[in-house]
Amino acid sequence: MPRYSTDAIILQSRDFLESDKIIWALTRDQGLITAIAKGAHCSRKRFPGTLEPFCEVVLDVFIRRPTDMHRIESAMLITANLGIREDLALLGHSSILVEMVKENLGPFDPVPATYECLRKALSGMEGCRQWFPFWCISMVNILKALGYGIDMKTLPRKDPGAAPGPSEHALSSEALVFLATGMNLNQEVLSRITVSRQARREISSYLLRLCTKVSERPLKSAVFLAKLLDLNMNQC
């Protein structure tokens, strides 16, 4: 397969030399790929603002041998998801979805369920004011697609008799009920759900701790999000 076209989500991009870019992308047909885009900074015709993180694109890719790095000939934008980069909290939560996929999938291993989960998560969060409930369920679904399903019956429960105050490891009744029922709700319903600040903190801490636990390397996005939410990373 010397040349092919595929839908893809840009996970990360990095400048290389003066005019090129190296990108990491999750493709629908080929799984996770690393590729170079020659002249990415010079050619607006071939790469019209399409190689930025969170963009969903159609890539025209060329490869000479299976062991070579892919070369992106051109990219056509499907959706830029620009709203994600305009809100710091949204950026932090979206970044961990992207990094989890990048760090936990092997190269050239198509996993359609993971691609679809990430695509729906980014497009849904970008266009939703009440995006936190949708992020939670998307994170759970992506973990499941990566092979780390959550058993709702074994979630850490906060002692009802405990003194009020934050707990980095236990989940309140509100957080538990939301996680248990949210899996069965569609995006439209999730966008109307209000989750208290304390429950959001508990859920975020739990999911960050789980992401860190299943990843072999430290997640930069987890550290960033923990600082943004003022969570203790040692406890996460």
Domain boundary residue among 26, 60, 80? 80
- Residue-wise pLDDT tens digits, 89-138: 999 999 999 999 999 988 878 888 899 999 999 998 987 888 999 999 99
Phi/psi at 46 (nearest 5 deg)?
A: -85, -30
Closest CA to 168 of 228, 231, 215: 231
234 falls within a domain: no
**15: Cβ–Cβ under 8 A, 6 or more apart, which residues?**
21, 41
User: Tokens 């990415």 appear where?
Assistant: 40
User: What pLDDT sits at residue 162?
Assistant: 56
For the ranges 34-43, 113-122, 163-172, the maximum mean pLDDT occurs at 113-122
CA 232, CA 236: separation in Å to the nearest integer? 6
180 and 205 co-located in one domain: yes
What pLDDT shows up at residue 94? 96
The whole domain housing 117 covers: 83-228
Residue 174: CATH number of its domain: 1.20.1440
Q: d(Cα 96, Cα 101) in Å, to the nearest integer?
A: 9
Q: In the chain, how many domains are there?
A: 2
Pair 4, 29: CB distance under 8 Å: yes
Number of alpha carbons in the 13 Å side-chain half-sphere of residue 217: 10
pLDDT surpassing 80 at residue 48:
yes
**Residue 130 shares a structural domain with residue 164:** yes
Identify whether residues 198 and 179 lie together within a single domain: yes
The structure's pTM equals 0.88
Would you put residue 39 in left (φ > 0), alpha (ψ -120 to 50) or beta?
Answer: left
Q: In whole angstroms, how far apart are CA 80 and each of 18, 35, 57?
A: 24, 19, 8
Q: Quick one: 114 and 17 in the same domain? A: no
Six-digit token string for 181: 């029922």
Contact 92, 21 (CB under 8 A): no
* pLDDT tens-digit series, residues 52-84: 999 999 999 987 666 668 899 999 999 999 999
Whether 40 maps to a domain, the answer reads yes
Q: Report the candidate in 111, 94, 105 with the shortest Cα–Cα distance to residue 216.
A: 105
Interatomic CA distance for residues 68 and 54, integer angstroms:
25
Q: Are residues 33 and 148 in the same domain?
A: no
